[in-house]
Structure 1
């Protein structure tokens, strides 16, 4: 994985409907694990941790800060995992600093650091954040 700033990425179209929106970050991670297994993709431990952490952070942020998870889409290309998360808040994510009484603020910077490409697009009724993570 690169630590260079991510470049623009055309978002994968989120699959519509509640059946495609996991109820939790844990369910989203499970979906990613299942897809990788079905595709026969074997990852080293660092890449696997990065993929699952980005998945978890994007879904958690949609639930906590984005008004709820509206859609979730994952797909594997030749050498990458494409992940799109849609929520109901059109505002882009903003970095924030945690405080002792309100910890946090690490998720969005982690996503930007770990993903090879990130794209945020506002649309009627919310936004879609897409991330690409190389698997090889």
Structure 2
């Protein structure tokens, strides 16, 4: 099982989100055996981007992003300071697309409260 933890800045910025996406690309490039399709990579990068963006905007900042490769799946988990779970809302010009998109693309999603405070939001993706 391959794992990678990535520290992510605590303020929303395009550089921070781009860095998280690049870390995910690096993680995928190092997998043996590799992910099965380019679609897997694109899906993972999109989910990473949405989870990190949501954590930065609504969760008080992401502390870490954990990427874990299992034999038939890849888990993306973002850990932030807010105990409040993501919510689905009607999309508008200010957002509302990320959580439904991540939920749709993933095999499963989960929100887990952390004993040290905050929560983890994870998505399980096909490998």
Judge same fold: TM > 0.5, yes or no.
yes
Q: Structure 2: which 5+ runs fail to align?
A: 10-15
Structure 2 equivalent of residue 130 of structure 1:
122
Instruction: Quote the Cα distance in structure 2 between the aligned partners of 1:107 and 1:98.
Output: 9
Q: Helix, strand or coil for the counterpart of 2:63?
A: strand
Structure that is richer in strand per residue: 2
Q: In the alignment, is residue 75 of structure 1 matched against residue 75 of structure 2?
A: no
Instruction: Work out the number of aligned pairs and report it.
Output: 117
Structure 2 equivalent of residue 114 of structure 1:
105
Scaled by the length of structure 1, the TM-score of the pair is 0.77
Q: Structure 1: which 5+ runs fail to align?
A: 1-13
Scaled by the length of structure 2, the TM-score of the pair is 0.82
4+ runs deviating over 3 angstroms: none
Structure 1 equivalent of residue 47 of structure 2:
54
Greater RCO between the two (CA within 8 Å, min separation 6)?
Answer: 1
Deviations 1:88-136, CA, capped at 9 Å, x for gaps: 000000112233xx4310100001100111110122421101111011x
RMSD of aligned Cα (Å): 2.0
